[in-house]
Structure 1
Amino acid sequence: MTLVTRLQTSYSRNNPRLILLAGMAGLLAVSACTSSTSIPSEVARIETAQGSAENIGSLTAVIRANPNDPVAYNVRGSAFGKSGNTSDALRDFNKAIQLNPRYFEAYANRALIHRIEGNLSAAAADYNSAIRINQNYDKAYIGRGELYRRAGRTNEAFNDFQKAIQLDTTDPRAYHRRGLIYQSRGQHDFALDDFATAISLAPNSPEPYNGRAISYIALGQIDNAFDAVNFALNLDDNNAESWANQGLIWEQKGENDKARKSYRRALQLNANFEPARNGLNRVGG
């Protein structure tokens, strides 16, 4: 089995957000990763509510004063979602939708919680409901597109991200994830354009910098890839993917001692991150 085949097998098996760069003569790297058991960063974006106990207490007081206000339930549900309390989040989104069956934001928020809990069919149904109610709701297209992308339905995912972008979304996820699809198709110039837009919209997020690094590797621009990964690490030095990508670049440069250090750091942060484990095995870790 070739190195490319081994990487493709391990990467696709262990992370739904990994992108294989076909046609590379050398090593491959991975794009943004998220554990299926963790609360994804999108929770922080739903209605921007904070998940502190103090804030949830304040929202509860608002609901007591306005028990038939769907907006109050939607906002508190978002706060519960941000805190990781998915059962209470679902309860509040259910109540918001019961009070207003055309509350498309609540459908999209509930869809995200369903996705976190692994109920993908319910998530898809809620995104579809949100889109039926409001065909111009960009976040529902982005959420549904991510469901499609994780399921390997990349053409449908691309269409949803494209639709959100056509709606003039300012959500960086649409550009980042469309970039990942361009990347998977070997269209790295388009991917780099999308990563650049995502960075302009979310300059403190390491994910598009890691995506940028992967395309630079595919194009043989190793120094540019190294700069992108190091920028990602400056933003968040507890990101296992960034360390693994840095290890891969050191490996490409023939600096195996430095590669080992980067791979080991990635595994300290995520002991189950198989791309880092495989990289460490390659460099004799």
Structure 2
Amino acid sequence: MLAAAGCTTTGPVEVISIDEAQGTQENISSLTNVIRNNPNDPKAYNTRGSAYGRAGEFNKALADFNKAIAIDPNYYQAYANRALVYRGMGDLSAASNDYNKALRINPRYDVAYIGRGNMYRQAGQTNNAFNDFQAAINLDTTDPRAYNNRGLIYQTRGQHKLAIEDFSTAISLSPSAPLPYSNRGLSYLAQGDDENAFADINKALDLDKTIAEAWVNQGLVYEKRGELTKAKRSYAHAARLDPDYKPAKDGLARVS
């Protein structure tokens, strides 16, 4: 049950984490004015591309990143940002090419290692993903995703002590991010530490009640305790949030 719930999903595509993403849909018009006044400024296109990416307007984002790269072919941030949009569009080959270009230009760019690692994890290439997260950590990254996602790989390998250490580091870097709490709770549960598991999972839900994985993990704790009615309620809530989330459906099947 723990293996099924822990790491079968890759999480949402991280468009909201596009590097240099300062814009949202609300200020795209102001960014357009910046570009109108600075038509040869690659950073202006990169920033607006990031805003389009946040808004899910991938084709417009690609056009802006293409323009930024045309102006400055060594703009490694734009390559990494464009790669993230390609991931969102499901074009992992193009994403890989762009991450590789970014890292050739700047081999110390931790964001590109993390992004490429997430792409590898999405594709099921966990060893390659692990190596990229490790590379970012070796560069002393302060991005919590590197630790959280390396922790997920430790978790799938059954190395829960190491996973807990990584999730704890991710939490220290971003205390308001819910997923590392939920993930750490699952590893505590795997170690038989129900009390800490329940505390972490409930903390994740306090921070964000829309995460199906956290509701499933809460269900697992209740199920382990034999509180099947409560477990069923948690699994059902997860299934309402994400009707295609298999661990939620499997949990409901077990306790119904």
Same fold by TM-score greater than 0.5: yes
Aligned partner of 1:243 among 215, 223, 231: 215
Structure with higher helix content: 2
* Residues in 2 aligned to 1:178 and 1:239: alpha-carbon distance in whole angstroms: 20
Report what 2:85 is aligned to: 113
Please, what is the CA RMSD of the aligned residues?
A: 1.5
Q: What is the CA-CA distance between 1:43 and the residue it aligns to?
A: 2.4
Structure 1 counterpart of 2:108 = 136
Selected match of 2:49 from 77, 81, 85? 77
Instruction: Answer yes or no: is the 8 Å Cα contact 1:32–1:207 preserved in 2.
Output: no
Say which structure, 1 or 2, has more relative contact order (CA 8 Å, 6+ apart): 1
Say whether residues 1:56 and 2:56 are aligned partners.
no
Relative distance call for 1:118 and 1:162 in structure 2 (3 A) is: same
Identity %: 56
Distance 1:132 1:180 in 2: 27
**Superposition pairs for residues 93-242 of structure 1, below 5 Å?**
93-242=65-214
Say if 1:188 and 1:219, in contact at 8 Å, map to a contact too.
yes
Contact 1:31 1:210 in 2 (8 A): no
Residues in 2 aligned to 1:246 and 1:31: alpha-carbon distance in whole angstroms = 15
1:32 is displaced (CA, Å) by 7.8
Q: Secondary structure at the match of 2:158?
A: coil
Change (3 A) 1:32 1:206: farther
Structure 1 stretch 228-237 or stretch 183-192: which is displaced more? 183-192
Contact 1:97-1:103 at 8 Å conserved across structures:
yes
Structure 1 32/226 Cα, relative in aligned 2: closer, same or farther at 3 Å? farther
CA drift of 1:30 comes to: 2.1
- Contact 2:49–2:64 (Cα < 8 Å) also in 1: yes
> Is the contact made by 2:86 and 2:92 (CA closer than 8 Å) also made in structure 1?
yes
8 Å Cα contact 2:45/2:64 also seen in 1: yes
- Assess if the C-alpha contact under 8 Å between 2:18 and 2:84 holds in 1: no
Post-superposition offset of 1:202: 1.3
Using the TM superposition, give the Cα deviation of residue 34 of structure 1 relative to its aligned residue in structure 2, in angstroms. Answer: 5.0
Opposite residue 116 of structure 2, the aligned amino acid is R
Q: TM-score, normalised by structure 2?
A: 0.95
Which shows bigger deviation, 192-201 or 263-272? 263-272
- Where structure 1 has 5 or more consecutive residues not aligned to the other structure, the ranges are 1-6, 8-19, 22-27
Letter in 1 for 2:137: I
Q: Is residue 131–residue 137 contact of structure 1 (8 Å, CA) maintained in 2?
A: yes
Which deviations, in whole Å up to 9, do the C-alpha atoms of 1:37-73 show, x marking residues without a partner?
Answer: x6x34424421322123x1111100101111111100
Output the TM-score relative to the length of structure 1.
0.86
